[in-house]
Amino acid sequence: MKPRFFSTLLILGAAGLATASAQSALSDLTKSLSSPQPAATASALPSDLVGGLKNLASSFGVSQLNYMSLAKDALSSLNAGHDSKALAALDKLGAAKLTAGQLTALKTARTAVDAYVVKKNFAGVPEVNGLVTDSLTQIKSGDFAGVAAKLQTVATTIKPTAEQKAVLDSLVAHYKSWAASSPAPAK
């Protein structure tokens, strides 16, 4: 679809004037999310990650096609091995005004994506195996401050590639932000 058409769809959707073509565009975007994605990496993406992103995308209506597109971009980026681009798309969604249901879907998808990205990028690095294991546990438990601290230590312990550095920077900033706005998990 052309950018101008997307802009028109967004304006019509925001004004409550969604047309049949807007509904068709939404349907096409939803179908593209439902179709199998080619995996560019050695293993396919985990089903909880794909399901979380699809659930997130389906939580947006016609007036929010730009948000749905960001969720799709995150999935496509992960499939292409561009983890930092996927995280950037999710960061943009996190900065948007979302409903409570959409925010819950985003947090669920983000947890799955973050765990996948941390494991994929750092689980095989011997000098940080313990930190990675702790980070994965903290991601799943919601210990955002703990995740940020562990990932900062990973960044200083290894010599990350440019992509790994971008991933670490994005994750640390994300978890520091969530830690500042969320209560600490019960121990």
pLDDT tens per residue across all 187 residues of the chain: 433 333 333 333 444 444 444 444 444 444 444 444 444 443 578 888 888 888 888 888 767 888 889 999 999 999 999 999 999 999 999 998 899 999 999 999 999 999 999 999 999 999 999 999 999 999 999 999 999 999 999 999 999 999 999 999 999 999 999 888 876 655 5
Give the closest residue to 92 by CA, choosing from 64, 62, 54, 55.
Answer: 64
Determine contact, residues 117/87, Cβ cutoff 8 Å: yes
Domain that holds residue 133: 3-181
pLDDT score at 17: 40
pLDDT score at 51: 84
61 domain residue, yes or no: yes
187 domain residue, yes or no: no
186 domain residue, yes or no: no
162 domain residue, yes or no: yes
Identify the sign of the CA torsion 40, 46, 51, 53.
negative
Task: Report the distance separating Cα 101 and Cα 56, nearest Å.
Answer: 9
168 domain residue, yes or no: yes
pLDDT score at 33: 41
Task: Report the distance separating Cα 37 and Cα 69, nearest Å.
Answer: 15
Helix axes 65-79, 83-94, angle to 10 degrees: 160
Count of domains forming the chain: 1
Residue located via tokens 């396919």: 44
